[in-house]
Structure 1
Amino acid sequence: MARFLVTGGAGYVGSHVVLALVERGDEVVIIDDLRQGHRAAVPEGVELVVADLADRARLAEVFAGWKFDGVLHFAALSLVGESMRDPLRYITENLSNTLGLADAAIRAGCLRFVLSSTAALFGFPERLPIDEAARLGPVSAYGESKLMAERGLEWAEQVHGLRSASLRYFNAAGADPKGRLGEDHNPETHLIPLAINAALGLGPELTVFGTDYDTPDGTCIRDYVHVTDLADAHLRVLDVLNEGRSVRYNVGNGSGYSVREVIDTVQRVTGRPVPHRTGPRRPGDPAVLVASNTRLREETGWTPRYAALEDIVRTAHAWRAAHPNGFRGNASQVAA
C-alpha cells in the first residue's frame, strides 16, 4: 500500500482521483482550503487537512506528519476569464503554490509529483489533433501560470531529481458512474453541467458563444474526457514515474463535439429542452481544440472507457438529478 498527498482532493477532478486511489487500496491525505472543494466529497477514512497551500508552516507539518510516496496537485485557480481580469493573482498564486509544494516534497524526500495542467498551454493550435510536440503559446494568464509551473518542475528534476508528470487536460466532464461524486462548482463555467442545469431548471438559460466558427455547425468543437478516465490516467502516470523519468501527456478523448452536439445530447438524455440563446464570440476561443492521446495510450496502456458523449452526459445528468443542490446540505462522506 502506498500513501499519497492530494491537494485540492475535495474538488471535482481531485475527488475522483482520490476515490480511484482509495479503491485500489492506497492511503490518501488531502489538503484543501474548501474554497471550491466539498467536505462531503471526501471518501470515508481519508484524512482531510483544511489549509491553504500558501501556509508553508502548515504544509511542512503535513510532510512531517506522514511519509508520502507521491504528491498529486490539483489545488489552483482555474477560470480563464477571471485570470484575464486578475492575471497577477493567477500567476502568483498558481506558480508560488506549485513550487512551494514541490519544495516541501523534495525536502521530505518525496520525489514523485503529478501536476494537474491544462490544454490552455497551447493557445491557438497550429495543427489538430494537438500532440505533445505542439507549440506552447498560452493566450490567458491561467495557461501561462501552468506553463510556468511546468517549467519550474523541470528545473526541480534537473537539480533535485523530482520526477514529475504534467497532465494537460482538455475538458474534464461527467461524473462517477456509480453516482458517488459529481461536478459542483460555484460559479459553474463548464458547458455540460450548464446545459444540464438549464434543462433541469436548476440554472439560467445557456448562452452559446458564437455560431459563425469554421466548423460543420458553426459552434466551437471541444474534446471532452470523462473524469473517471482522467482519474485512471493519474494512477497510470504514477507507475511511469516509478521508472525514473518525467513525462508530459495530453489527456483527451481524441475526438471533439460541438456546442450544438452537446445541447442535442443533453436534450436527448434528459428528455427536456435546453433553453439557450446565442451570444457573441468570446475573445480567445479557438474554433476547435482536440487532443492527440497517442503518447498516453502507447506509454501507459490508458484508454478511455467513457468516450461517447452520451455516456459522459448520462453520468453527469444522473448525479445532478440526484443532487439538485450539489454537495450543499450533504454532510455524509463518500463510501468507496
Structure 2
Amino acid sequence: MKRTDRLDNKYMPINKNVLVVGGAGYIGSHTVLALQETGFNPIIYDNFSSGHRDAVFSDHVVEGELSHSIHLRDTMRKYDVGSVIHFAALIEAGQSVVEPLLFYRNNLASTVSLLEAMQEADVTRLVFSSTAAVYGNQPEIGLLHEGLPIQPTNPYGQTKAAVEAMLRDTAAASNLKAIALRYFNASGADARARAGERHDPETHLIPLILQVAAGQRDQITVFGNDYQTKDGSCIRDYVHVTDLARGHVAALEKLLARDAKIGGFTPINLGTGRGYSVREVIETAKRVTNRHISVVDGQRRLGDPSMLVSDPSRAHIELNWRAEHSSLENIITDAWNFMQRGLS
C-alpha cells in the first residue's frame, strides 16, 4: 500500500498553494479564477499600484512590495507555498523609454528579490509572465517562434528579456524550474464579467475602440495606413485573457507534474497563430456594439512592425494548450460586456 508521508517525491502529494504575484491585475486576476477552478489555492501578493481591490478573487491576500524579499519569504513560509506565478511589472513600452530606471528597478531588480525569497523558502517552481516584446522588430519572416534571436527595442522589452536570462542562469545553478510565457496581445474579459481590462491610462487598442463606442472618447486613431498588409494597417495576434489564464495554469501543472520532462528554463509563446489588422478589429467592434466608431488616420509609430503573430506550436506540444476563446468577435463581445457592466 502506498504511503503519502514518505520523503520520496513519487508518493508525496502535490502542493497546490500558489503565490500569485500581481494577482489583482488584469491577467493575474483572471489567472486566480482559473487556478481556483482547477483545484489550486492561490495566495495573492500585490501592492495595488495598478491592481484593483475589487479584482481580488482569493480569501488569501497579502499587500506588499516585490522588492521586500524578507516579507515575500515569510509569506511563502506562512502559506506553505509550493510555486509562484509572477505577473508584477510595469508594462507601458512608451513610458519605459522616458523612465528606464523605473522599469529596471520595478521589473528586474524586484525579480531578484523574488528569486532570493524563493530560494530561502525552498520554492523551486516559477511561471513568469513574459512578452512577445522580447522579439523586437524581426525581419518579415512570418510567425514568431521561440528559437528566434532576442532583440527587444525598448527598456520594457529589455527588462523582460533580462529576467528571462536571469531565470535561465539561476535554473542552471540551482534546482529552480521556470517557464516564461511570451504572450502577444492580451485582450477580452471574463465571460461572466467578473474581471476585465482597466489600465490607467488606457493604451491598448480594443478598450480604446470600445471607449469610442461607449461615447467616452471621440475617435480612434489608426497609426499608419501604408503597411504591406491587406488594408494597410498593422496586424497583431490577439489572445483572449481567459486563454492566457488557462495557459498559466497549464504551465504550472507542467512544472509540478512528477514525470515532467522539462528543462530548467523554457520559453513558450501563448498566441493564436492568426493575426487581425487594426481595421479588422474596428469593423468587428462596430458589429458587436452596433455603435458608430469614428476613425482617423495617423502617422506610423516609430518601430511598429507591420505584423506580429505567434507560432504557438510549442504550447500545443509542451502544455497541450490552444487558444479556444480567442476569436476576435468573442474577445470584443466579452470586453464590451465587461465595459457595459462598469457603465451601468
Shift of 1:104: 0.7
Relative contact order (alpha carbons < 8 A, sep ≥ 6): 1 or 2 greater? 1
Shift of 1:64: 2.8
**Is residue 285 of structure 2 the alignment partner of residue 285 of structure 1?**
no
Partner of 1:331: none
Q: Please give the secondary structure, in 1, of the residue aligned with 2:329.
A: helix
CA distance in 2, matches of 1:236, 1:25: 12
CA distance in 2, matches of 1:283, 1:4: 40
Q: Deviations over 1:57-94 (max 9, x none)?
A: 32232123121111000000110000111112212321
Judge conservation of contact 2:70–2:117 (CA < 8 Å) in 1: no
2:192 counterpart (178, 182, 191): 178
Judge conservation of contact 1:99–1:153 (CA < 8 Å) in 2: no
Shift of 1:110: 0.7
Q: Please give the secondary structure, in 2, of the residue aligned with 1:217.
A: coil
Partner of 2:130: 117
Higher alpha-carbon deviation: 236-245 or 192-201: 236-245
Judge conservation of contact 2:73–2:120 (CA < 8 Å) in 1: no
What is the percent sequence identity of the aligned residues? 42
Q: Where does 1:73-112 land on structure 2 (aligned, <5 Å)? A: 73-112=86-125
Q: Deviations over 1:240-279 (max 9, x none)?
A: 2132533210111110000000000000000001122221
1:221 counterpart (212, 229, 235): 235
Q: Where does 1:1-336 land on structure 2 (aligned, <5 Å)? A: 2-43=16-57, 45-126=58-139, 127-242=141-256, 243=260, 245=263, 246-324=265-343
Structure 1 87/172 Cα, relative in aligned 2: closer, same or farther at 3 Å? same
Letter in 1 for 2:210: I
Q: Please give the secondary structure, in 2, of the residue aligned with 1:115.
A: strand
Judge conservation of contact 1:27–1:46 (CA < 8 Å) in 2: no
CA distance in 2, matches of 1:99, 1:287: 35
Gaps of 5+ in 2: 1-14
Q: Please give the secondary structure, in 2, of the residue aligned with 1:225.
A: strand
Judge conservation of contact 2:68–2:113 (CA < 8 Å) in 1: no
Judge conservation of contact 2:96–2:156 (CA < 8 Å) in 1: yes
Gaps of 5+ in 1: 326-336
Q: Please give the secondary structure, in 1, of the residue aligned with 2:287.
A: helix
Letter in 2 for 1:261: E
Q: Please give the secondary structure, in 2, of the residue aligned with 1:318.
A: helix
Letter in 2 for 1:224: Y
Shift of 1:16: 0.4
Judge conservation of contact 1:209–1:279 (CA < 8 Å) in 2: yes
CA RMSD in angstroms, aligned pairs only: 1.3
CA distance in 1, matches of 2:112, 2:294: 43
- Higher gyration radius (CA): 2
Shift of 1:120: 0.4
Shift of 1:204: 4.2
Q: Deviations over 1:81-131 (max 9, x none)?
A: 001111122123211111211121121111000110000001112321001
CA distance in 1, matches of 2:301, 2:91: 17
Q: Deviations over 1:293-336 (max 9, x none)?
A: 001011221111113111111111111111128xxxxxxxxxxx
Higher alpha-carbon deviation: 12-21 or 268-277: 268-277
TM norm structure 1: 0.93
Letter in 2 for 1:288: M
Q: Deviations over 1:152-209 (max 9, x none)?
A: 0111111121100000010000011122111111111110011011111123421211
Judge conservation of contact 1:116–1:167 (CA < 8 Å) in 2: yes
Higher alpha-carbon deviation: 17-26 or 74-83: 17-26
Q: Deviations over 1:220-258 (max 9, x none)?
A: 100000000111111111122132533210111110000
